[in-house]
Amino acid sequence: MLDLPELDPAADLPAAAQIAAFYRRAIQDGRLRAGDRLPPIREVAAAIDVTRALVQDAYRQLAEQGLVEGAVGRGTTVLPGGAHAELQRPACAHSLSPYADAALRRSQVMPGAPPLPRGTQLVANFAELAPDSERFPVDEWRAAMDAVLQSRGAALLGYGHATEGLAELRALLAERAHEIDPGLTADGVLVTAGAQQALDLVLRTFCTGGDTVVVTAPSYHQMHGLLRAHGLQVVQVPFTAGGLDLDALERALQRRSVRLVYLMPTFHNPTGRTLDLAQRHELLEVVARTAVPIVEDEYQSSLRCRGEPLPTLRSLDPRGLTVTVSTMSKELFPALRIGWIAGSQDLLRPMAAVKRFMDLEQSPLLQAALVEFVARGALDRYLDALRGELRLRHDALQRACRQHLPPGCTISDPDGGFVAWLELPQPGQGDRLAELASERGVRVVPGRVFDLDGRPSRGVRLSLTRADRRQIEAGIAVLGDCARELLAAPVSAQPFL
């Protein structure tokens, strides 16, 4: 049974709009299907302590959007198709599990960067976050693979019988994390199929359908789809240039249904921002009053090119209820599909049990080749070169922004990672900036992609994986021209998408 909505008194949306948004998401994600009934108005009103008229207004908004239909004696019923009538539905749709149905729906409506119009020449691609394939260490990786195949190929091509991962790889990963997580040992590492499986394992371990997860606004958009597929409710907490809104986090944690907090404390996607040491301690002071676990996504922390490394939240959490997710996909290459979870053995043991029934184990061959690759010094050589290039690209980005962006625009200045966040003064201007830029050969991802509800955004994400220093200069010049046009437009003409 679908949970009843919970209101956030500090939210920008009026109460009726919050209720409507709650049920709209449930319909879009497949948790409410055609023919299902919404709870009676009186039941919702009593549960969240509002008037029946307010709930009735929320249901009216859903009806005006073509999602539901109210009838005397039958209540309010979800209409066939609804907001997703345009989606391609398989013939077996009625047989799909809620997880599969929600995943299918979300995958078909996930927005991205506007495409370039036909015939438009590419000036700069700030849209792609995947590492540049031209930098991949193909020869050195092949040498590592050959070495382990020659020395123990027969053993590595069979089952390794180690769901947690090869012991030598787990020890290596713990050793390499010593600077930011000094207490981590091999027993505190679970190897996974990249960070995405790691996040899925965390959700399967801590949450069940109807529970609530706290995320930042904006936040990693692929996590949104995963949360919806699991049938989870989501509360967004603002993450701005000043850090995480701890007052909003504290209010969110007061909800009885909250079971997990998802954060990216270092080189946050999409903003590139990092919580400093004081902010990390303040965050943990808030969460320490609860028994709610944290999952910190440190997918880019190894790509620091300035400043001193910061300790993981896991290493600072006295409760032992934080797990850290990391991956090789961004620092090396995505096809490796090796990620890992760092946590206490009490938390990793059930995750390993769940993983065993998902895929038995990660490829022993790839794990052994990675150990060999590191032992040969190839990973450190590759990362040193990548960090050096990232430092030059971030410096070029800041110089270009100072030169070309008009007053009113701001740009984050990360100490590493692949992304930065360009922001304009008004909601919707970031989304419109992405459209204008695409018409002139520059691709960026609009900020609404990183909001759970796709609300109008002030920002755009800039990724530096595919743009060299020359392209960064040219691309920011175009973005500056587009921003000037938007800021010069009358207020009445400003877009609210």
Q: Give the residue extent of every domain in the chain.
A: 15-100, 110-129+381-493, 138-376
Please give the structure tokens belonging to residue 472. Answer: 């960064």
Q: What integer pLDDT is reported at residue 493 of this predicted model?
A: 47
Q: What integer pLDDT is reported at residue 81 of this predicted model?
A: 64
d(CA 40, CA 51): 13
Contacts of 423 (CB under 8 A, 6+ apart): 409, 410, 411, 430, 458, 459
Residue range 196-242, pLDDT digits in tens: 999 999 999 999 988 999 999 999 999 998 998 898 989 999 999 99
Are the beta carbons of 482 and 436 closer than 8 angstroms?
A: yes
Q: What integer pLDDT is reported at residue 34 of this predicted model?
A: 79
Q: Which CATH class is domain 15-100?
A: mainly alpha
Instruction: Out of 3.90.650.10, 3.40.50.300, 1.10.3720.10, 3.90.1150.10, select the CATH number for domain 110-129+381-493.
Output: 3.90.1150.10
138-376 folds as: Aspartate Aminotransferase; domain 2 (3.40.640)
Are the beta carbons of 416 and 454 closer than 8 angstroms?
A: no
Q: Which of 245, 255, 250 is nearest to 212 (CA)?
A: 255
User: What is the DSSP pairing of strand 339-342 with strand 322-327?
Assistant: antiparallel
Q: Which residues of the chain have pLDDT under 50?
A: 83, 85-86, 492-497
Q: What is the pTM of this model?
A: 0.84
| pLDDT above 70 coverage of the chain, percent | 93
User: What is the DSSP pairing of strand 189-192 with strand 243-244?
Assistant: unpaired
Contacts of 286 (CB under 8 A, 6+ apart): 246, 249, 250, 253
**CA 368 from centre of chain:** 29
Are the beta carbons of 184 and 174 closer than 8 angstroms?
A: yes
Q: What integer pLDDT is reported at residue 327 of this predicted model?
A: 96
Q: What integer pLDDT is reported at residue 495 of this predicted model?
A: 44
Label residue 239 left, alpha or beta by phi (over 0 means left) and psi (-120 to 50 means alpha): beta
Q: What integer pLDDT is reported at residue 496 of this predicted model?
A: 36
